[in-house]
């Protein structure tokens, strides 16, 4: 019996190049109409009792190849628990092995978050008291763009995730955020619901998610470069979210992402926007300081370089929203590797810890909302 490789499912991505004995050569497939690729997700079967070596032979041409050193592939046999497995990156090839004690094993860049799970989440949360649901619009593949609204307060808060669909950690964060916000026993959530109205888009790129893309939608467009001028033809997802924000206004925004290279959680702000004031910026920095004090799952030492004055890229949501609404806006980045300041040798950065970080972000926001 030979080894079988399959990625023909929600959020799957791999192409079989060849099998030679117990060695399987694979390629990651590019996003449709785009050159971006790095997300992979596939299953392997028919190898029980064998130790199989998997080689992703085009890893060196991926979007962020500099992120592979120090990265460890996630593997699961039950699609619930995703463990890290030893992974080597040499000469543009990503190599990992798996000893098959079971019939089927699953491999992914990070613990996947399927569109089926998205629908489970949205439907479960929409049933909770005080939650309303609406479709902000439709994607190019005719999938709904779901928004959940929670709270009755004056401050308008927007949380949105997964503009980059391969960053599945962002929707695990959303699952944690939504569970906390609808927990009747949670005092921070109660305060937030009273002082703010929270508009939450758990998945801003359903098409890229279902197609197994890294970074783009069904038209190969990077949604986080569309916020200055979204169109119905190329970026209906951004157009729908931005139009809804224009109706409500926005005092606080968090755009949730994952980063390929940096082994830590961090925030990126809106330095360099034309209307920058130190007062607006200081609120963003204060949020980061309070979040660091609240949890070992966050830190301030590692992160991106700040844009120079006047040099902000207004096609990115955080800059556009900060400029457009005067909002305290930020991009949250979580690692594909681990959060090295408080590591986990078995799972690395993981779904459970994404959810814990979401809880800490909302606790921090609850203590901060009066200052917005
Ligand atoms: Zn991203």
pLDDT at 2: 86
Q: 271 an active-site residue?
A: no
Distance between CA atoms of residues 163 and 202, nearest Å? 10
Q: How many A from CA of 339 to the centre of ligand 1?
A: 17
Residues 283 and 21: their CA atoms lie apart, in Å, by: 58
3-state DSSP helix/strand/coil % of the chain, to nearest 5: 30, 25, 45
DSSP character at residue 13: B
**Ligand 1 centre and the CA of 23: distance in Å?**
32
| Sign of the four-CA dihedral 293, 294, 299, 304 | negative
Q: What is the pLDDT of residue 1?
A: 66
Tally of CA atoms within 13 A in the half-sphere of 115 that contains its CB:
20
Domains, the chain, in order of start with CATH, read: 4-108 (2.60.40.3120), 115-371 (3.40.630.10)
At residue 224, the pLDDT reads 98
Provide the residue-wise pLDDT of the chain in tens; the chain has 372 residues: 689 999 999 999 999 999 999 999 999 999 999 999 999 999 999 999 999 999 999 999 999 999 999 999 999 999 999 999 999 999 999 999 999 999 999 999 999 999 999 999 999 999 999 999 999 999 999 999 999 999 999 999 999 999 999 999 999 999 999 999 999 999 999 999 999 999 999 999 999 999 999 999 999 999 999 999 999 999 999 999 999 999 999 999 999 999 999 999 999 999 999 999 999 999 999 999 999 999 999 999 999 999 999 999 999 999 999 999 999 999 999 999 999 999 999 999 999 999 999 999 999 999 999 999
Cβ atoms of 53 and 24 within 8 Å: the answer is: yes
pTM: 0.98
Q: DSSP assignment of 138-202, as one string?
A: E-TT--EEEEEEE---SEEEEEEE-SSTT-THHHHHHHHHHHHHT-TT-HHHHHHHHHEEEEEES
Give the integer Cα–Cα distance in Å for 221 and 120.
27
Q: Which of 83, 7, 79 is nearest to 41 (CA)?
A: 7
CA of 258 to the centre of ligand 1 (A): 5
CA 223 to CA 238: how far, in whole Å?
7
pLDDT score at 117:
98
Considering the candidates 179, 260, 271, 333, report the single residue annotated as catalytic. Answer: 333
């Amino acid at each position: 019996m030979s080894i079988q490789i399959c990625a023909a499912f929600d959020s799957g991505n791999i192409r079989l190049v060849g099998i030679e004995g117990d060695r399987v050569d694979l390629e990651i497939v590019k996003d449709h109409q785009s050159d971006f690729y790095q997300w992979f997700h596939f299953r392997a079967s028919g190898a029980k009792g064998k130790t199989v070596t998997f080689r992703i032979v085009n890893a060196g041409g991926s979007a962020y190849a500099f992120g592979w050193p120090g990265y460890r592939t996630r593997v699961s046999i039950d699609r619930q628990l995703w463990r890290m497995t030893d992974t080597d990156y040499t000469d543009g090839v990503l190599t990992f092995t798996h000893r098959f004690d079971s019939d089927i094993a699953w491999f992914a860049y990070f613990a996947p978050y399927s569109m089926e799970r998205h629908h489970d989440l949205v439907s479960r949360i929409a049933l909770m008291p005080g939650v309303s649901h609406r479709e902000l619009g439709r994607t190019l593949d005719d999938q709904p763009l779901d928004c959940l609204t929670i709270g009755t307060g004056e401050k308008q808060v927007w949380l949105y995730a997964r503009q980059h669909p391969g960053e599945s950690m962002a929707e695990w964060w959303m699952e944690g955020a939504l569970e906390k916000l609808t927990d009747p026993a949670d005092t921070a959530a109660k305060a937030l619901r009273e002082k703010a109205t929270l508009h939450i888009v758990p998945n801003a790129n359903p098409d890229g998610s279902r197609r197994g893309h890294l970074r783009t939608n069904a038209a190969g467009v990077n949604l986080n470069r569309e916020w200055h001028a979204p169109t119905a033809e190329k970026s209906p997802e951004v157009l729908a979210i931005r139009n809804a924000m224009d109706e409500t206004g926005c005092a606080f925004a968090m755009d949730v992402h994952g980063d390929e290279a940096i082994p830590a959680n961090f925030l990126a702000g809106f330095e360099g926007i034309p209307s920058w004031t130190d007062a607006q910026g200081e609120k963003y920095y204060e949020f980061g300081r309070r979040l660091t004090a609240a949890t070992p799952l966050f830190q301030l030492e590692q992160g991106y370089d700040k844009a120079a004055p006047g040099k902000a890229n207004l096609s990115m949501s955080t800059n556009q929203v900060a400029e457009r609404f005067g909002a305290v806006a930020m991009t949250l980045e979580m690692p594909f590797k681990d959060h090295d300041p408080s590591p986990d040798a078995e799972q690395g950065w993981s779904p459970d810890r994404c959810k814990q970080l979401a809880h800490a972000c909302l606790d921090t926001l609850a203590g901060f909302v009066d200052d917005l």
